[in-house]
Amino acid sequence: MAHKFINKIAPGETVNDIYLVRDAVLRSTSRGDPYIAMFVSDRTGQLNGRMWQASEAIYRSLPKPGFVHIQGRSELYQNNLQIVVNSIGIVDAEKVAIEDFLSRTKKDIGQMFSEVKSMLQQIKNQQLKELAGEFLSDEALMRNFCRAPAAIQMHHNYLGGLLEHTHNMLRVATAILPMYPDVQPGLVLAGIFIHDMGKTEELSYETAFSYTDSGQLIGHISKTLLMLHRKAESLAAKGKRIDGPVLDALGHIILSHHRTYEFGSPKLPAAPEAFMVCYIDDLDAKMNQVVSAINNEASDSNWTGWQRPLETRLYRKRLE
């Protein structure tokens, strides 16, 4: 049976489906009876949930967060729709249709990753090649790299989004590097491959997209720099020393790839390769964001709704 999506639930309906529960808390009513407050969500939205016939045992059994089967009904409370939960039971994550909870890239992850590896073969500089290889041979990291979204909102905000974004950036770089012969191609390619790697740690994408604590405190830019240095140290431990200027040139690309201070870059781009990575990153992110907004617009209007980060509505009419 098809999943009943959160944004399709009307007041007064019976609820009997699997949802993600999070931030569950055990509280007391004014009469002293225990109840559980929680958020109930899927990829279309989130509602308050209340279980009035609750016990500490039920509360302790709940995943924080995780998937549950909820039976109950929907009602309006203080002008907001909420779910009154009658019974709640943990569901094995493996039995869940994860695509009801997290969107996923429409492209083929295996093929994209294989093309990424193939494009990185173009790197000629030995040390850059070895750094890229050290990332590629970290299997746990590569699994996350292929699974993580590129962002929670804005652009490529779905499973595989980080890979899709990195893959497309590498394709663009490969296509335009011949037009800019003064630019060092290996630095650009290695820089693109690594530039957002810290998002695998900044974001959480098991059951829902969110920031990790560490991600919020440190951010993916600094996390990527730390990863780069860890990889250089593990190469050094194998006797393959990476020179300071190589690490610094790559590190500079990572630190400056948001291009301005106001977008969180602690350094402004100061090398041709850093500028090129900035522009390809911004181009690819914006094209994804703009095209998604246009394709996802529900109305028949020639214009999407207001896009706050772009400070405009977007024109949808096609001429060609």
Helix (H) or strand (E) holding 77: strand 66-77
| Virtual torsion, Cα 142, 144, 146, 150, nearest 10 deg | -130
**117-128 burial: b if 16+ Cβ within 10 Å, else e:** eebbeebebebb
* 63 near a copy of itself, rule: CB under 8 A: no
* 34 near a copy of itself, rule: CB under 8 A: no
* 85 near a copy of itself, rule: CB under 8 A: no
Among 111, 114, 263, 309, binds a copy of itself (CB under 8 A): 263
* 251 near a copy of itself, rule: CB under 8 A: yes
Give, as ranges, the residues between 191 and 250 that touch a copy of itself (CB under 8 A).
213-214, 216-219, 221-222, 225-226, 229, 233, 244-246, 248-249
Give, as ranges, the residues between 272 and 311 that touch a copy of itself (CB under 8 A).
272, 275-276, 279-280, 282-283, 286-287, 290-291, 294-295, 299-303, 310-311
- Amino acid identity of residue 112, one-letter, is M
- Among residues 197, 123, 172, the alpha carbon closest in space to that of 282 is found at 172
* 133 near a copy of itself, rule: CB under 8 A: no
Among 168, 193, 197, 200, binds a copy of itself (CB under 8 A): 168
* 162 near a copy of itself, rule: CB under 8 A: no
- Among residues 150, 259, 138, 163, the alpha carbon closest in space to that of 199 is found at 150
Among 69, 171, 235, 297, binds a copy of itself (CB under 8 A): 171
Report DSSP state, residue 49.
Answer: E
Cβ-based nearer residue to a copy of itself, 72 or 185: 185
**In the complex, minimum distance from the CB of residue 283 to a copy of itself, in angstroms, rounded to a whole number:** 4
Report DSSP state, residue 243.
Answer: P
Cβ-based nearer residue to a copy of itself, 208 or 294: 294
Q: Calculate helix-pair angle for 126-136, 185-194, nearest 10 degrees.
A: 20
* 43 near a copy of itself, rule: CB under 8 A: no
| Pairing state between β 45-51 and 80-90 | parallel
* 257 near a copy of itself, rule: CB under 8 A: no
In terms of phi and psi (left: phi > 0; alpha: psi -120 to 50; beta: otherwise), the region of 94 is alpha
Cβ-based nearer residue to a copy of itself, 55 or 77: 77
Tell me the C-alpha to C-alpha distance, in Å, between residue 200 and each of 61, 190, 196, 272: 29, 17, 8, 27
Among 58, 112, 163, 255, binds a copy of itself (CB under 8 A): 255
* 146 near a copy of itself, rule: CB under 8 A: no
